Amino acid sequence: METRKIGSLDVSVVGVGCNNFGMRLDQAATDEVVHAALDAGITFFDTADVYGGTQSEVFLGVALGVRRSEVVVASKFGMPLDDERFGAAPGYVRQACEDTLRRLGADWIDLYQLHAPDPSVPITDTLGALHDLQAEGKIREIGCSNFTVAQLDGAKEAAGSLAPFRSIQNQYSLLWREPEQDGVLDACRRLGLGFLPYYPLANGLLTGKVRPGEPLPEGSRLALMAPERSAHWLSDSFSERVGALLAYAEDLGTPILSLAFSWLLAHREVSSVIAGASNRSQVVANATAPLRLDDEVVATLDRLTAP
């Protein structure tokens, strides 16, 4: 499988999002997904301390076992775990890192990401704590998530001569084009950041299994989602664009899943498309999805999905 760079790291262009681990998937099902990913050449796994009520990291560590050194593991910190464990203050950065290492059963984290900006803490202080952990060999590269362009520029300036953020993880898909509009993709080019899109399949809308006007597939993420959240994804605006994409995919003879992955990877800023999976067949479908799209197809996809 092709790889791309995040700082010093080589990551497979298809990754596994681990937010299902410890929530929808037990240890046995997690093992199946992780082992299928390794068999398919996927070497990038993205988790967070908050996923699965802290169990995602545990399940991932167990599933990887002795193969930990063969992969790139990304995790995140900063989202509230309880009333005391949250944020980006230096003391908590160290505590969160140590806790993640213990849960993973590992000595290092390849990519450690601030899950969201913490306006109560100067970014200089957070970066200082992360750099200390790098110097100790506990993390290799650092990244952020849900940052704006102004926050990215501020972090770059605050890093000074020390290693800056190497990646940003924001929402991006054919159906959610904000990083193009708010300048984050441009900032990635300017600052040399790898972009990691979350919700790359728009919570299942781009898998081909969700069809406008038809019942949601039983057990799917959208079917299990709280109604107040699923209503956003099932709006008329999204449904119209999904219908247009399905028709175009049929004309091309290409699965909509492949178009969703390939369109993202046509943007060189995107380092890896990290998508969740619940079983081996979904992992294989994701791993084999990327295609090289010609400019005409990319332009048509842009037009069909323009907000």
In sign, the C-alpha dihedral spanning 171, 177, 178, 184 is positive
pTM over 0.75: yes
Q: What residues are annotated to the active site? A: 51
Task: Round to whole Å and give the CA distance between 216 and 298.
Answer: 28
Kind plus residue range of the DSSP H or E element containing 191: helix 184-191
- Taking the CA of residue 59 as centre, how many other CA atoms within 13 Å lie in the half-sphere pointing to its CB? 30
Distance CA 166, CA 30 (A): 28
Whether 215 has a pLDDT exceeding 80, the answer reads: no
Q: Quick one: pLDDT at residue 212?
A: 81
CB hemisphere CA count around 79 (13 angstroms): 15
pLDDT band, very low/low/confident/very high, at 24 (cuts 50, 70, 90): very high
Residue range 218-244, pLDDT digits in tens = 777 777 777 778 778 788 888 999 999
Structure confidence by residue, pLDDT tens digits, 251-301: 999 999 999 999 999 999 999 999 999 999 999 999 999 999 999 999 999
As a whole-number percent, the residues of the chain with pLDDT over 90 amount to: 88
Predicted confidence band of residue 171 (pLDDT cuts 50, 70, 90): very high
Nearest to 304 by CA among 232, 252, 230, 268: 252
Please, which residues have CB within 8 angstroms of residue 4's CB and are 6 or more apart in sequence? 10, 11, 13, 194, 270, 271, 272
Q: What is the mean pLDDT of the chain?
A: 95
With residues binned 3-state (H G I as helix, E B as strand, rest as coil), the percentages for the chain, rounded to 5, are 45, 15, 35
Asked which of 134-148, 186-200, 202-216 is least confident by mean pLDDT, the reply is: 202-216
Residues 68-108 have pLDDT tens digits of 999 999 999 999 999 999 999 999 999 999 999 999 999 99
Name all domains of the chain by residue range, CATH numbers in brackets. Answer: 3-207+257-293 (3.20.20.100)
- The arithmetic mean of pLDDT across residues 148-166, rounded, is 95
Assess whether pLDDT exceeds 80 at residue 172: yes
